[in-house]
Amino acid sequence: MTAEIWTLGGGKGGTGKTFITSSLGVNLAKSGRKVILIDADLGGANLHSFVRLKKPKHSLTDFFENRLPLEKIIEDTQIPGLKLVTGDIHSINPQNIKYAQKLRFFRHIRELDADYIIVDLGGGSNLNTLDTFLLADKLVVVILPEITSIENLYQFLKKVLFRKINRILRKHRMKDSVLEAWRKGDTRGIHSIGEMIRFLKGLSFETSLIIDEELAGFKVSIILNQVRDREHIEMGFSVRSVIMKYFGISAMYAGYIGHNDLFWRFINQIQPLSQSAVSLSNNREISALARNLEEDKQITLTEIYHA
């Protein structure tokens, strides 16, 4: 059985991607799953400190520079079932990781002995981040209940979809003909990704079929972090609707996490990891989120009003 890969991204920095990656990892491992966390935050790797691995022996650099196979750079954590690949890859220029290398990386991680592989992305939306995000099985975005964070998410998704469509056109060797049609066609009224997709699908029956087929099952899962009240929680439903309407893709509201002192204590290493691990595995929000992501479910309004 191959492992399922989840990536956590979302554009803006500091929304809680690393915290959620680590706490989901701890929660899932405590529930008996085999989990490998991968720090793909090029230039800002800090996942190892969240899982208290003070001095990681190897990093992703060793894989990308062909020094070690992936299996050799996976390290155990103090939590049984939870492993980590550190992302300290400052010794090479992250922008230089070629698409073929990323494909090789994903081919390898899929074959690791794990139920879930959770990839923590950095903030921002450079091509490496977009490609890594797109290569996963489950695309997860982490946002805060703030306008700037939500706007950042829309910008991020716009770039993700552009990249996705670009890859579809290249894969099917349609890029040149589509560009030509784009130049010749009346594209003045096209203001959103949804409209662009409609334009492409209108080019020919074949293009329409290919795009439909490639985008079928394309979905993002939304996590709202650091919510403080019910109004914040409800923002997840609106974000989901906007994504579906304007981007024409499927979206799930996988769950929310409160701004909580328990999490702050975990992040700031106030308690031993074993103690935090018990709290994280018993925490209702983290557990609900982990189950929803595992089972491809989302939260409902009824659940919130009965919480």
Ligand X SMILES: Nc1ncnc2c1ncn2[C@@H]1O[C@H](COP(=O)(O)OP(=O)(O)OP(=O)(O)O)[C@@H](O)[C@H]1O
Give the residues lining the site for ligand X (CB under 6 A). 13-19, 41, 44, 122-123, 225-226, 257, 259-260, 263-264, 267
In whole angstroms, the minimum distance from the beta carbon of 284 to ligand X comes to 13
Nearer to ligand X, 63 or 256 (CB): 256
For Mg ion, the closer of residues 18 and 287 by Cβ is: 18
The answer to whether residue 7 forms part of the interface with Mg ion (CB under 5 A) is no
| Shortest reach from residue 192's CB to ligand X, in Å | 26
Backbone angles phi, psi at 252, to 5 degrees: -125, 140
For ligand X, give the closer residue by CB, 186 or 261: 261
- Specify the amino acid at residue 146: E
Is residue 18 at the binding interface for Mg ion, with CB under 5 A as the rule? yes
Question: From the CB of 17, what's the least distance to Mg ion, in Å?
Answer: 5
Q: What distance in Å separates the CA atoms of residue 214 and residue 197, rounded to the nearest whole number?
A: 12
150-177 CB burial, b ≥16 within 10 A, e <16: bebbbebbbbbbebbbebbbeeeebeee
Q: How far is CA 128 from CA 93, 109, 247, in A?
A: 11, 17, 22
Q: Which does 226 bind (CB under 5 to 8 A by kind): Mg ion, ligand X, none?
A: ligand X
CB of 256 to ligand X, least distance (A): 9
Residue 99, contacted partner among ligand X, Mg ion, none, CB below 5-8 A by kind: none
Q: Decide which of ligand X, Mg ion, none touches 69; Cβ closer than 5 to 8 Å per partner kind.
A: none
SS3 216: coil
Contact 141, 156 (CB under 8 A): yes
197 neighbors 287 (Cβ within 8 angstroms): no
When the beta carbons of 81 and 124 are compared against ligand X, the nearer one is 124
Q: What b/e string do you get for 12-46 counting C-beta neighbours within 10 Å, with b at 16 or more?
A: beebbbbbbbbbbbbbbbbeebbbbbbbbbbebbe
- Least distance CB 215 / ligand X (angstroms): 27
| Site residues (vs Mg ion, CB under 5 A) | 17-18
